[in-house]
């Protein structure tokens, strides 16, 4: 008997017959991406032993593609970590009133701590953790970028969970959905639009602090990681306009490429999760259409679909909500009293430590000086919020209501928001010097370049999330101009505006550390403010002043959030909640 050898079929016959250009593009693109990640990631596995063995940054433009790839990889790793943090932290704060009392004030403090404040503590820790390897400095840089991304996304997710339409929430309870089913079928889909737009803004915020996270100068030590941020810092120190020009061109090309291949497809996909009864205009984008035409993603989903279904079933079973006794619906007063007593004791302990620190380390005179500088920065932040609201709210609503305008304007606003404003600080500094403009006024413009986009992106997400059936009803009722804003638009975007204002405020406070003290060669412009105070103390390694500055900045932000923004959040939940 003669056996005929046949070539083994790696892929199904039906698949090989239907493979087309779309599959080729998706397959080659995926392989190229994996190769680039492995190649760039491998460059972090080198020796690092300061001051003998340290990385160096060359101003030769030939190195810019490699530097751009390394910075991009750090940004996406930080984005993944920020997303995971958002889901865990935001969900815990939204679903537990007791946890909310602790987590939201803590989030206020975390977003108010400047990046340099985190770097002062974490750089030494990460370098010691990965002793002898560049991974330690890489981890410190990624963590610094994470601190520029996570807080905005967490506030957005928390606000979305607290404002889920009431009738959908009641329906989930009626059908006895488990916690996992409620999260995946209701809460996550209803928050995806705001989460995508805030993720886009957070990514841009990460670019803003790229230079500070790659060219680290803390505690009288200088550490440099090869990347776009450190390249710009080196070009600024060398007053090399030629290198700055190439860095700006590279950054523009990088932002546009990420927008085309990542953010635009996500925005198009998020539009499918709009909560509405009537069908709106379907959005299309070439990357999404290419992905749908390809067969590879479908076969991959078939391959992993069974394990995912098994995991989904078990998580639903383990998080099933058990019917509670009627008496258990009211929280026990005794446990609340214990919780409040612990909170009071912790607050009293922190107050004691703060007073002791002041008396032994800095003195009340220094506290008064730093607090006065905080008032200067606070006035700049408030002016920025008023200006951003008046200018960007109507623009954001127009973009959110028009898919065509959104497709046209998204690359532009993504470029403006993602382009690191501190990349053009050298040119702004040179202009201020030539024009004789004090940085006390110019710093407001520099802070706005990095913070105003938080409000714009949240307003766009809020406007895009208003159901089409409500807009059609408003048109049928004759709501135009002022009446449309009063009865439809303002209530519909109010929660998103509050989130944008909170994060813009925190972003402005953070931006003050690089906007209130700006170097150009041997010339340094300084504005009166708490940001400049913290930046100078960090450079000198003055721990008492670092702690004092960061602590006062946290008090300013938390005080504003408690007195103003928290009440507006409660108003959004009670009065301006859809459904």
Q: What is the 3-state secondary structure (H, E, C) of 281-342?
A: CCCCCHHHHHHHHCCHHHHHHHHHHHHHHHHHHHHHHHCCCCCCCHHHHCCCHHHHHHHHHH
Rounded CA-CA distance 44/454 in Å is 32
* Res 11 pLDDT > 60: no
3-state secondary structure (DSSP) of residue 163: coil
In this structure, of 191-200, 295-304, 335-344, the range with the lowest mean pLDDT score is 335-344
Residue 185 pLDDT? 85
- What is the distance between the alpha carbons of residues 409 and 510, in angstroms, rounded to a whole number? 27
Does the pLDDT value for residue 569 go beyond 80? no
Listed ranges 57-71, 169-183, 286-300, 337-351; the one with the highest mean pLDDT: 57-71
166 CB burial (10 A radius; 0-12, 13-18, 19+): exposed
Res. 372 pLDDT band, cuts 50 70 90: very high
Three-state secondary structure call for residue 222? strand
Q: pTM for the whole thing?
A: 0.77
Range in 275-279, 522-526, 568-572 the model is least confident about? 275-279
| Residues 225-234, mean pLDDT to the nearest whole number | 85
Mean pLDDT on 273-302: 75
What backbone torsions phi and psi does residue 163 show, to the nearest 5 degrees? -120, 25
Strands 221-224 vs 47-48: parallel, antiparallel or unpaired = unpaired
Cβ(462)–Cβ(497) below 8 Å = yes
Dihedral-angle region of residue 478 (phi above 0 means left; psi in -120 to 50 means alpha; beta otherwise): left
Query: In Å, how far from its chain's centre is CA 551?
Result: 22
pLDDT of residue 161: 86
Given a contact cutoff of 8 angstroms between Cβ atoms, the answer to whether 78 and 145 are in contact is: yes
Could you report the per-residue pLDDT of 118-136, keeping only the tens digit for each? 666 677 788 778 877 788 8
Percent of the chain's residues with pLDDT above 70: 84
3-state secondary structure of 75: helix
DSSP 8-state class, residue 53: B
1-15, 502-516, 531-545, range with the lowest pLDDT: 1-15
Bridge partners, residue 215, by sequence: 224
Decide if 113 contacts 229 (C-beta within 8 A). Answer: no
Residue found by looking up tokens 């973009």 in the block: 399
Cβ neighbours for 409, distance < 8 A, ≥ 6 positions apart: 399
- pLDDT (mean) for 343-355: 72
């Amino acid at each position: 008997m003669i056996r005929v050898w046949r070539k083994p079929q790696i892929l199904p016959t039906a698949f090989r017959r239907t493979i087309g250009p779309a599959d080729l593009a998706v397959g080659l693109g995926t392989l190229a991406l994996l190769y680039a990640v492995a190649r760039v990631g491998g460059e972090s596995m080198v020796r690092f032993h300061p001051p003998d063995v340290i990385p160096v940054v060359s101003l030769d433009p030939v190195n810019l593609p490699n530097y751009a790839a390394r910075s991009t990889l750090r940004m996406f790793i930080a984005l993944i970590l920020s997303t995971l943090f958002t889901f865990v932290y935001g969900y815990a704060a939204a679903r537990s009133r007791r946890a909310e009392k602790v987590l939201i004030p803590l989030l206020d403090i975390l977003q108010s701590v400047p990046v340099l404040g985190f770097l002062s503590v974490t750089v030494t820790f990460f370098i010691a953790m990965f002793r002898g390897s560049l991974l330690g400095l890489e981890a410190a840089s990624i963590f610094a970028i994470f601190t520029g991304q996570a807080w905005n996304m967490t506030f957005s997710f928390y606000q979305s969970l607290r404002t889920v339409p009431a009738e959908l929430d009641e329906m989930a309870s009626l059908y006895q959905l488990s916690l996992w089913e409620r999260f995946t079928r209701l809460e996550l889909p209803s928050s995806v639009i705001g989460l995508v737009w805030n993720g886009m803004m957070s990514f841009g915020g990460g670019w803003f602090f790229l230079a500070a996270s790659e060219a680290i100068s803390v505690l009288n030590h200088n550490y440099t990681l090869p990347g776009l941020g450190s390249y710009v810092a080196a070009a600024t120190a060398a007053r090399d306009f030629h290198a700055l020009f190439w860095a700006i061109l590279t950054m523009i090309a990088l932002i546009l490429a990420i927008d085309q291949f990542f953010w635009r497809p996500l925005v198009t996909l998020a539009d499918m999760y709009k909560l509405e009864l009537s069908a709106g205009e379907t959005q299309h984008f070439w990357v999404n259409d290419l992905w749908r035409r390809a067969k590879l993603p479908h076969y991959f989903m078939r391959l992993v679909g069974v394990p995912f279904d098994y995991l989904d079933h078990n998580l639903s079973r383990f998080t099933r909500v058990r019917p509670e006794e009627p008496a258990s619906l009211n929280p026990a007063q005794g446990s609340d009293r214990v919780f409040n007593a612990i909170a009071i004791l912790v607050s009293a302990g922190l107050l004691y430590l703060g007073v002791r620190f002041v008396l032994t380390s800095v003195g009340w005179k220094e506290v008064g000086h730093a607090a006065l500088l905080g008032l200067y920065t606070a006035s700049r932040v408030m002016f920025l919020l008023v200006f951003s609201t008046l200018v960007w709210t109507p623009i954001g609503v127009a973009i959110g209501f028009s898919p065509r305008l959104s497709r046209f304007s998204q690359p532009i606003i993504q470029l403006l928001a993602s382009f690191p404003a501190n990349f053009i600080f050298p040119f702004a500094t040179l202009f201020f010097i030539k024009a004789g403009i004090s940085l006390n006024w110019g710093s407001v413009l520099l802070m706005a370049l990095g913070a105003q986009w938080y409000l714009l992106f949240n307003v766009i997400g809020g406007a895009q999330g208003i159901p089409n059936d409500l807009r059609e009803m408003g048109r049928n009722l004759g709501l135009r101009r002022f009446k449309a804003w009063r009865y439809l638009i303002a209530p519909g975007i109010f929660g998103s505006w509050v989130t944008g204002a909170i994060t813009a405020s925190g972003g402005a406070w953070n931006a003050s550390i690089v906007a209130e003290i700006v170097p150009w060669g041997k010339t340094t412009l300084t504005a009166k403010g708490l940001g400049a105070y913290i930046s100078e103390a960090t450079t000198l390694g003055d721990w008492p002043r670092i702690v004092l500055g960061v602590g006062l900045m946290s008090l300013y932000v938390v005080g504003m959030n408690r007195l103003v923004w928290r009440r507006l959040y409660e108003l959004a939940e009670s009065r301006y909640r859809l459904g």
